[in-house]
């Protein structure tokens, strides 16, 4: 076994043990104010009687699923919402607002599954300055791995002018002028594992396979931002929403 092979395997494992090196996070190219580990803000008194609202902001990290579960724990203590009720379609509607540059894929998959299990709705939006009184929403961004959290919603929304960004999957490989046969085979193995994991998750979320084709055909060195019509045609979002009221009135 070559020293490069051992180094490459260590790098892949360190970057994401379970996701086998899926790189759907172009975080180095997307540094901005929210580029910190994701937090979940629970609104104790949302401007709606039939919903509970959580705002997720920051980069999807190893701690994201744990922090999300903590947010659900708080909802169970401070509202009429509960996991048991949500999983039978009873109780207040859980709404997750998203604003994230992306990050690690495996935690995004985990949150996505929990959102679907608990019948949540998701939206690419952030609370406006008047949110506490009228539930108004402002545009936000949901790029890369954040998109998989978005897909966990049983119904998915986007505020007009919000950004939804996707790019091609690409395993982490040391850049150099030439590669040995075993290095190429390793790259292909990691790439196939990554594509298979993504395909399985889209199927689990009942998302049209054409989204996988879109991701596979996207440039691997830049983010592609989707307009409303394209995001809707790919099954990423269902409707535009300017407020919580729009979300709650949408047929689910």
What pLDDT is stored for residue 219 in this prediction? 67
Let me know if 68 is exposed, middle or buried by CB neighbors in 10 A (0-12, 13-18, 19+).
buried
What pLDDT is stored for residue 32 in this prediction? 41
What is the DSSP code string of 89-127? T-SSEEEEEEEB--B-HHHHHHHHHHHHHTT-EEEE-EE
Mean pLDDT for the chain overall: 84
Q: How far apart are CA 27 and CA 38, in angstroms?
A: 13
Average pLDDT estimate for 5-19: 36
- The pLDDT-based confidence of 192 (bands split at 50, 70, 90) is confident
Q: How far apart are CA 239 and CA 158, in angstroms?
A: 7
User: Is 5's pLDDT higher than 70?
Assistant: no
User: Is 27's pLDDT higher than 50?
Assistant: no
User: Is 93's pLDDT higher than 90?
Assistant: yes
Strand 93-99 versus strand 121-124 pairing type: parallel
Higher pLDDT, 227 or 33: 227
Of 3-7, 33-37, 56-60, the least confident: 3-7
Closest CA to 24 of 59, 54, 57, 69: 59
What pLDDT is stored for residue 220 in this prediction? 66
- The pLDDT-based confidence of 31 (bands split at 50, 70, 90) is very low
Closest CA to 115 of 67, 168, 153: 153
Average pLDDT estimate for 6-13: 39
Of 30-39, 55-64, 102-111, the least confident: 30-39
Higher pLDDT, 221 or 94: 94
Q: What is the pLDDT of residues 112-169, one digit of tens each?
A: 999 999 999 999 999 999 999 999 999 999 999 999 999 999 999 999 999 999 876 6
User: Is 110's pLDDT higher than 70?
Assistant: yes
């Amino acid at each position: 076994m070559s020293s490069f092979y051992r180094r490459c395997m260590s790098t892949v494992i360190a970057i994401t043990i379970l996701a086998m090196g899926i790189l759907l996070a172009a975080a180095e190219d997307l540094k901005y104010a929210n580029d910190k580990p994701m937090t979940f803000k629970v609104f104790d008194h949302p401007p709606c009687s039939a919903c509970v609202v959580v705002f997720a902001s920051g980069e999807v990290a190893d701690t994201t699923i744990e922090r999300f579960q903590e947010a659900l724990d708080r909802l169970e203590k401070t509202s009429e919402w509960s996991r048991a009720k949500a999983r039978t379609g009873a109780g207040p509607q859980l709404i997750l607002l998203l604003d994230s540059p992306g990050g690690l894929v495996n935690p995004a998959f985990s949150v996505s599954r929990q959102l679907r299990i608990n019948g949540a709705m998701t939206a690419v939006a952030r609370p406006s300055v008047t949110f506490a009184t009228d539930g108004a929403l402002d545009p936000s961004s949901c790029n890369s791995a954040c998109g998989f959290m978005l897909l966990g919603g049983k119904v998915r929304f986007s505020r007009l002018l919000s950004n939804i960004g996707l790019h091609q999957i690409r395993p982490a490989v040391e850049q150099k002028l030439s590669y040995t046969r075993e290095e190429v085979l390793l790259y292909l193995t990691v790439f196939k594992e990554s594509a298979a994991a993504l395909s399985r998750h889209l199927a689990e979320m009942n998302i049209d396979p054409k989204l996988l084709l879109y991701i596979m055909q996207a440039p691997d060195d830049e983010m592609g931002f989707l307009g409303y019509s394209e995001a809707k045609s790919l099954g990423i979002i269902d409707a535009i929403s300017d407020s919580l009221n729009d979300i709650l009135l949408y047929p689910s």
